């Protein structure tokens, strides 16, 4: 088979590449090869009842398939150069913002038109943060929510399916250069193209590393974010989330002068498992529809680490911490903040007596009122984290919203 363009990966990167190419020239022959399944077939088997923890499916319904890792995301679209990537380094800040607004227009014209755009412009929280040794980063954020995000993806697929050939359940094994383009190998077959876009996200990053090595494409070591997901009663953060939805707040630690920051805030949301090549970690999302909202807010608390010579494998570093955490906790670990600072584990008893009911389906037995901790007692989050990270996360937690944290608030990692 011959194509003008083959796109590997149907996450947001792949979908928007296909969308743009189809808009530019409707004569182009475009194919998308995706390891996972179509959007409508993506279902994570964890229901908190029959299936209580990650069963390591061949491709993870949360991470793979049409929509990529973004399909069941919270659908927060941040319009800013302050975080979330460094596109501006290549095209300049103004053009980067213009492109983000352009993507926002596509989302709003494909089902997201009734959703709200939040902004930090003119907020009183900037001053309050500075008075408390914190920095609130500037951003506008559109919250589609997991539900409307799904609608947008559905509409994009409907529009693209007649213009682009989608090949699902088709992981690409390898790529080779040919005289006038590339040959893509998959399931014992191959296809040729003039141009190839590889957009395989986090789940495909290891594969991508090998491809770059084989094709002699230079790579750069990126930073790795190490952290925990914090879950607390939504009312505690509602003054921030009602006005800003998501607030990226940075705290500089006293001892190491490292930055600890909040990330991916999900007001009234849920914590979910994600499986990246057999390693189970957590993420969060929330629904626009109030019927699906919970009483908790969750967000990530992260510290970034850059490595240079002699060690450059940031990905490997993050992965080994996650692997160790899975080994010690038999999956992800959940710990009350009070137990973390006392250096003790959160037993079933302590979690069930806590004021905060975990929303992670893998640890909650739903429909029984007070949370029941289904799995065996969880481990201690401080064990898999190197000392410097653990101390930064502890001090970041205490300072980020000083006085508001409670010993019952949960840390999942």
The interface region with ligand FAD, picked from 11-19, 99-107, 292-300, 345-353 by CB under 6 A, is 11-19
Alpha helices (H) in 161-215, listed in sequence order: 205-214
CA atoms of 358 and 284, how far apart (whole Å): 12
Q: Is residue 207 a contact point for ligand FAD (CB under 6 A)?
A: yes
Closer of 33 and 182 to ligand FAD (Cβ): 33
Could you tell me whether strands 249-252 and 134-136 are parallel, antiparallel, or unpaired per DSSP bridges?
antiparallel
Give the one residue of 22, 37, 38, 70 binding ligand FAD; rule: CB under 6 A: 70
Give the one residue of 3, 14, 251, 397 binding ligand FAD; rule: CB under 6 A: 14
* Two structure tokens written together for 250: 């940075």
At its nearest, how many Å lie between ligand FAD and the CB of residue 225? 12
Q: Which of residues 314-353 bind ligand FAD (CB under 6 A)?
A: none
**What x/- string results for residues 26 through 65 when contact with ligand FAD is judged by CB under 6 A?**
-------xxxx-------------------------x-xx
Residues 232 and 409 sit within 8 Å (Cβ to Cβ): yes
Closer of 176 and 353 to ligand FAD (Cβ): 176
Closer of 199 and 297 to ligand FAD (Cβ): 199
* Two structure tokens written together for 100: 């983000």
The contacts of residue 407 (CB under 8 Å, 6+ apart) are 336, 337, 338, 339, 341
Among 12, 47, 11, 35, CA closest to 272: 47
The interface region with ligand FAD, picked from 68-76, 214-222, 368-376, 378-386 by CB under 6 A, is 68-76
**What x/- string results for residues 159 through 188 when contact with ligand FAD is judged by CB under 6 A?**
------------xx----------------
At its nearest, how many Å lie between ligand FAD and the CB of residue 212? 13
Closer of 163 and 202 to ligand FAD (Cβ): 202
Closer of 31 and 129 to ligand FAD (Cβ): 31
Element (H, E) at 348: helix 348-353
Give the one residue of 69, 250, 301, 410 binding ligand FAD; rule: CB under 6 A: 69
Closer of 221 and 398 to ligand FAD (Cβ): 221
Q: SS3 letters for 212-269?
A: HHHCCCCCCCCCEEEEEEEEEEHHHHHHHHHHHCCCCEEEECCCCCCEEEEEEEECCC
Q: Where are the beta strands (DSSP E) in 67-153?
A: 76-79, 116-119, 134-136, 140-143
Alpha helices (H) in 278-347, listed in sequence order: 314-329, 337-342
Closer of 211 and 333 to ligand FAD (Cβ): 211
Closer of 202 and 323 to ligand FAD (Cβ): 202
Name beta bridge partners: 184: 175, 191
Q: How far is CA 381 from the centre of its chain?
A: 20
Closer of 72 and 237 to ligand FAD (Cβ): 72
Give the one residue of 3, 19, 72, 182 binding ligand FAD; rule: CB under 6 A: 72
Buried b vs exposed e over 307-337: b needs ≥16 C-beta within 10 Å? beeeeeebbeebbebbeebbeebebbbbbbb
Q: Is residue 264 a contact point for ligand FAD (CB under 6 A)?
A: yes
Give the one residue of 6, 39, 76, 396 binding ligand FAD; rule: CB under 6 A: 76
CA atoms of 280 and 140, how far apart (whole Å): 31
Q: Which of residues 269-298 bind ligand FAD (CB under 6 A)?
A: 272, 274, 283, 285
Residues that bind ligand FAD (CB under 6 A): 8-14, 33-36, 62, 64-65, 68-70, 72-76, 171-172, 199-204, 207, 264, 272, 274, 283, 285
């Amino acid at each position: 088979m011959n194509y003008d363009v083959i796109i590997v990966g149907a996450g947001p990167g792949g979908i928007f590449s296909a969308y743009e190419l189809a808009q530019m020239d409707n004569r182009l022959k475009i194919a998308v090869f995706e390891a996972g399944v179509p959007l409508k077939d993506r279902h994570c088997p964890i229901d908190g009842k029959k299936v209580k923890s990650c069963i390591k499916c061949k491709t993870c319904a949360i991470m793979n398939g049409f929509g990529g890792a973004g399909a069941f995301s919270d659908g927060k679209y941040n319009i800013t150069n302050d975080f979330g990537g460094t596109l501006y380094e290549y095209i300049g800040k103004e053009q980067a913002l213009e492109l983000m607004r352009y993507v926002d227009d596509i989302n709003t014209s494909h089902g997201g038109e009734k959703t709200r755009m939040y902004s930090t412009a003119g907020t009183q929280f900037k001053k309050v943060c500075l008075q408390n040794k914190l920095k609130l980063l500037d951003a506008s954020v559109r919250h589609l929510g997991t539900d409307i995000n799904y609608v947008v993806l559905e509409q994009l697929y409907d529009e693209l399916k007649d213009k682009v050939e989608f090949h699902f359940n088709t992981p690409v094994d390898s790529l080779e250069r040919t005289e006038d383009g590339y040959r893509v190998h998959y399931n014992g077959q191959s296809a040729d193209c003039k141009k190839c876009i590889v957009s395989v996200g986090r789940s495909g990053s290891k594969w991508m590393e090998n491809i770059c090595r084989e094709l002699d494409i230079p790579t750069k070591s990126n930073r790795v974010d190490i952290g925990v997901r914090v879950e607390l009663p939504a009312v505690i953060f509602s003054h921030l989330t009602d006005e800003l939805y998501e607030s990226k707040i940075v705290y500089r630690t006293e001892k190491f002068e490292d930055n600890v920051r909040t990330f991916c805030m999900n007001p009234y949301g849920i914590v979910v498992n994600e499986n990246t090549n057999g390693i189970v970690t957590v993420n969060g999302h929330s629904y626009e529809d109030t019927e699906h909202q919970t009483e908790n807010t969750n967000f990530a608390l992260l510290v970034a680490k850059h490595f240079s010579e002699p060690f450059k494998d940031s990905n490997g570093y993050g992965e080994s911490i996650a692997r160790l955490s899975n080994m010690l906790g038999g999956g992800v670990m959940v710990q009350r903040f009070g137990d973390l600072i006392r250096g003790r584990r959160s037993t079933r008893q302590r979690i069930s007596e806590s004021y905060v009911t975990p929303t992670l389906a893998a640890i909650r037995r739903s429909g029984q009122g007070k949370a029941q901790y289904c799995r065996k007692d969880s481990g201690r989050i401080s064990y898999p984290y190197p000392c410097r990270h653990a101390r930064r996360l502890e001090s970041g937690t205490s300072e980020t919203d000083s006085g508001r944290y409670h010993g019952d608030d949960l840390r999942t990692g």
